[in-house]
Amino acid sequence: MKNKNKKEQRMLGTILYVLGVMLIISGSISLPTSLARTIVYSMLALGVVFVAAGLYLNHSYQTKLGTLKALQYFLLTVGAVIMVFPFYWMIASAFKTSAEMNFFPPTMFPKNWLNFDNFYIAFETAPFGRYFMNSVITCLSSVTLTTFTTILGAFAFSRLNFPGREVLFSLLLSMMMVPFEMLVITNYTTIVKLGINDTLYALVLPFTSSIFYTYILRNFFQSIPDGLYWSARVDGCNNWRYLWKVMVPIARPSLVTIVLLNAMASWNSFMWPLLVIKQDYNRTLPFGLYTFTTEVGANNELLMAASSVVVMPMIILFLFARKQIVGGVARGGIKG
C-alpha cells in the first residue's frame, strides 16, 4: 500500500512537472508578442509553482538531472536570443516603412517582408559601390600587412635569441592594456605630418601590426619542438627559409584565425575613418552609414537597410569560420 502511494505521488509529481514546463515554455514564447501581459505573467508564475510542486512530489535523480539540463538549455536559449535579437531587429526594420518605424509600441514584424524600397533608396542616396571597394581595399591591405608583420614578430620572439627579448615582449604585451582611444591623437598627428590625411593610406598605416596577434602566433610557434628547428639548420636551412617553408605551413590554423579576426576588425572600423576621412569619395561602408544621419535625427529604416548590407558579409564569414576562430585562439593560447 505504501509503495502504491509513493508511485501515485511520483506520477502526480511528474504530471505537475510536465504541465509546469509547458506553461513556462508557452509563456516565454507568448511574452514578446502578447498584449495581455498579466495573463502571460500568471502562466509563468503558475508554471514555476507546478514545477516546484512536481519536484517536491517526485524528487528522483532523473527528475533533478532533467531539471538541471532544462535550466541549462533555457539559459543558453535566453543568451542566444539576447545576442541574435539585435540582428533580427535590424533586418526586420530594413523592410519596414517610415510609418511602421514610428509605431509605439514598436511592431516585431514588418507588414511586408518583400518591401525592398529602403534598399533601393539607400543605394541611390549614397555611392555604396565605391564604399564597398574602399572597404575591400582597406581590409585586404590591412590583413596582408598585419599578417606579414605578425609572422616576423612571432618568429623573432619565439626562435631568435637576443638580449632583452623577454623584457621587450613583456613591454609590448603591457601596451595591450592601453585602449586605442588614448592613441588616437598621436596617430592622427602622425598621419597629418606624413601628408596622407583623407586618403586610404591613413586607414591602413596605423594597423599594420598587432601585439595581440603576435602573442597568439608566438605561443603557437613555441609549441613547435626545437629539434625541428635545429634539424633544419643542420641541413643548411637558414632562418628565413625555415620560417616560410616549415613554421608558416604548420601554423596555418592560427594564421587563419588571425586573418579572420583582423578582417572583421578592419571591415567594421568606424571611429578612425570618421576622424581621418573628409571626402565622401574615400569613405568605407561603416562610415558610409553616416549619410543617413542628420542634425534632426536619422532615417532609421534606410539606416537599417544599409546596415544589413554592411554587416551581412561579416556575419556569413563568421558563420562559416567560427570553428577556425575559436580553435585558433585556443591553440594559440596554450603553450605546449
As a whole number of angstroms, the distance between CA 264 and CA 136 comes to 11
**Long-range contacts of range 288-291, CB-CB < 8 Å, 24 or more positions apart?**
288/126, 288/128, 288/131, 291/125, 291/126
Range of weakest confidence among 78-87, 231-240, 325-334: 325-334
Residue of 106, 233, 227, 222 lying closest to 166 (CA atoms): 222
pLDDT in tens, 276-325: 888 888 888 888 777 776 544 567 777 888 888 888 877 787 777 767 66
Please give the average per-residue pLDDT across 213-218, as a whole number: 90
Classify the C-alpha dihedral 80-83-88-89 as positive or negative: positive
Percent of the chain with pLDDT over 90: 5
Task: Output the DSSP codes for 222-248.
Answer: HTS-HHHHHHHHHTT--HHHHIIIIIH
How high is the pLDDT of residue 97? 81
User: Scanning the structure block, which residue is given the C-alpha cell 631568435?
Assistant: 160
- Which residues have a Cβ under 8 Å from the Cβ of 101 and sit 6 or more positions away? 93, 300, 301
Q: Do 19 and 50 meet the contact criterion of CB atoms below 8 Å apart?
A: yes
pTM value > 0.85? no
pLDDT score of 233 more than 90: no
Q: Which helix (H) or strand (E) holds 36?
A: none
Question: Residue 336 — very low, low, confident or very high, per pLDDT cuts 50/70/90?
Answer: very low
What's the pLDDT band for 3 if we cut at 50, 70, 90? low
Residue range 22-40, pLDDT digits in tens: 777 777 777 666 556 677 7
Please provide the average confidence, as pLDDT, over all residues in the chain.
80
CA dihedral over 193, 265, 208, 198, signed as positive or negative: negative
Judge whether 142 and 204 are in contact, CB under 8 Å: yes
Residue 117 has pLDDT above 80, yes or no: yes
Mutual angle of helices 165-174 and 128-159, in 10-degree steps? 150
Confidence of residue 6 (pLDDT cuts 50, 70, 90): low
Pairwise CA distance, residues 57 & 72, whole Å: 22
C-alpha cell at 146: 598585419
| Element (DSSP H or E) covering residue 298 | strand 297-298
pLDDT of residue 296: 46
What is the per-residue pLDDT across 131-150, written as a single tens digit (0 to 9) for each? 888 988 999 999 999 999 99
pLDDT at 146: 94
**Could you tell me the pLDDT band of residue 68, with boundaries at 50, 70 and 90?**
confident
